[in-house]
Structure 1
């Protein structure tokens, strides 16, 4: 599935994290200034002015140079700019100041995944998931599943996706990935059940519709298979999934 090629990993949405921790040595007034600079940087990012986000973050670091949160956000900003060396340096510095920063580890894992460093990414996601207090543990397990799936380890991928869904049942990506893994493993009934739940939670794309066609057919639901096929025809006329569907129908 294409989602495995470009791991969503929520690294950018995490920029909206609200709770920022400050060093005890930073007075409340200065801590508030750091928060304001970070919020200003977030606003620039949301508006698409990525280059402008660096300055307020550097101002925040002038006040609190050992802030893991600020260095972690700076890593995301550099990643958005394509400055991979600076991004990794910022992520590492953030973790050197707070090795338990699960949010930063999850984001760093996303960065490593984008660089094709799957083993390193898996390690960071695992460390994030180990933090029982991390409020997005489900995302970390989901990301572990994506890496395991890309590496061809279906058993581990299934376990990670199931864990993520136990923690948060409203994860359509994990639901779809799990359906894909189960389909590959030959557990068609269970795959179909998860796929139907996914279809209620998220908008379809060409890859998910093609999976739906295959699962509907193998589970004997001809009407659903035809419906998904029609959606492929209507919504994704130039897709490779539509070509595969047409080839399947022609050879019946």
Structure 2
């Protein structure tokens, strides 16, 4: 069974924008992957076995950034077992990666018809609505995920709820959601970055530094987080610390846009 929640720190996350589907979305799991195989028996049919194998392959290809191949495998999983909600959920994720939003929504809605209490599918539908700027519907979907009994992904759902609220201009609500995400998963780099970026943008750079230091002192630090650290320390007049972060940025990510901006002194961009 697929039960993974993938939350990779592949790229920088700018305020209110998730750059990389797997940082935001969920692999099939929860109620979707635990639904009964058949009525009256615990033995899977041949079709269900084939569907599970195809589902595992699709997840692996998507994680490896091969969405076209992942879609082929997800389609085969659906064909092998049309009643497997996890297959429709993952197919929706792949279609989101391919910017096929209408088809993605059809797949996610089918997953929820089959498993209406699957928090992962509600989470993914919320992220889809967020990308379409359907912010009220996104919040409703995230809330449905959070209300799901035994849901294991509350931290990332609160995080993404906050990201979408920021995109909608609801900054106070966004901060509250991100703080709730931080309480649940204090080491989540996406939450840490977004909290820091939002607080810095709102003029509270002292608090922003608290969260960003946790990120930049970890292996998850990247060009985007180091550059934000430079700007925060520069605003707080901590020139030596800003220079230390800048040198680290140049050494570790010399070809990045952020390193170029540092060299130009573009602290207000």
Same fold (TM over 0.5): yes
Aligned: 1:192 with 2:209: yes
Give the equivalent residue in structure 2 for 1:230.
247
Compared with structure 1, are the counterparts of its residues 106 and 10 closer, same or farther at alpha carbon in structure 2 (3 Å cutoff)?
farther
Q: Give structure 2 stretches of 5+ with no counterpart.
A: 1-12
Number of residues paired by the alignment? 248
Give the equivalent residue in structure 2 for 1:246.
265
Aligned: 1:68 with 2:85: yes
Aligned: 1:168 with 2:185: yes
- Partner Cα distance (2:33, 2:260) in 1: 44
Give the equivalent residue in structure 1 for 2:22.
10
Q: Which moved more, 1:108-117 or 1:151-160?
A: 108-117
- Partner Cα distance (2:236, 2:162) in 1: 25
Compared with structure 1, are the counterparts of its residues 185 and 13 closer, same or farther at alpha carbon in structure 2 (3 Å cutoff)?
closer
- Partner Cα distance (2:177, 2:108) in 1: 25
SS of 1:5's equivalent in the other structure is coil
Aligned: 1:141 with 2:153: no
User: Relative contact order, CA 8 A, sep 6+: which one is greater?
Assistant: 2
Q: CA RMSD in A?
A: 3.2
Give the equivalent residue in structure 2 for 1:29.
44
User: Is the 8 Å Cα contact of residues 232 and 242 (structure 1) preserved in structure 2?
Assistant: no
SS of 1:76's equivalent in the other structure is helix
- Partner Cα distance (1:214, 1:208) in 2: 10
- Partner Cα distance (1:11, 1:94) in 2: 21
User: Is the 8 Å Cα contact of residues 236 and 242 (structure 1) preserved in structure 2?
Assistant: no
- Partner Cα distance (2:213, 2:257) in 1: 25
Aligned: 1:214 with 2:231: yes
Cα distance, 1:199 vs. partner?
0.8
TM-score (norm 1): 0.81
Cα distance, 1:210 vs. partner?
3.4
TM-score (norm 2): 0.77
Give the equivalent residue in structure 1 for 2:222.
204
- Partner Cα distance (1:117, 1:13) in 2: 17
| Structure having the higher Rg | 1
Give the equivalent residue in structure 1 for 2:9.
none
- Partner Cα distance (1:6, 1:48) in 2: 16
- Partner Cα distance (2:161, 2:233) in 1: 28
Compared with structure 1, are the counterparts of its residues 152 and 53 closer, same or farther at alpha carbon in structure 2 (3 Å cutoff)?
closer
> Residue by residue, what CA displacement relative to the aligned partner does 1:185-242 show, whole Å, maximum 9, x if unpaired?
333322211111111232221x433321232234443211122233455525654972
Compared with structure 1, are the counterparts of its residues 128 and 199 closer, same or farther at alpha carbon in structure 2 (3 Å cutoff)?
same
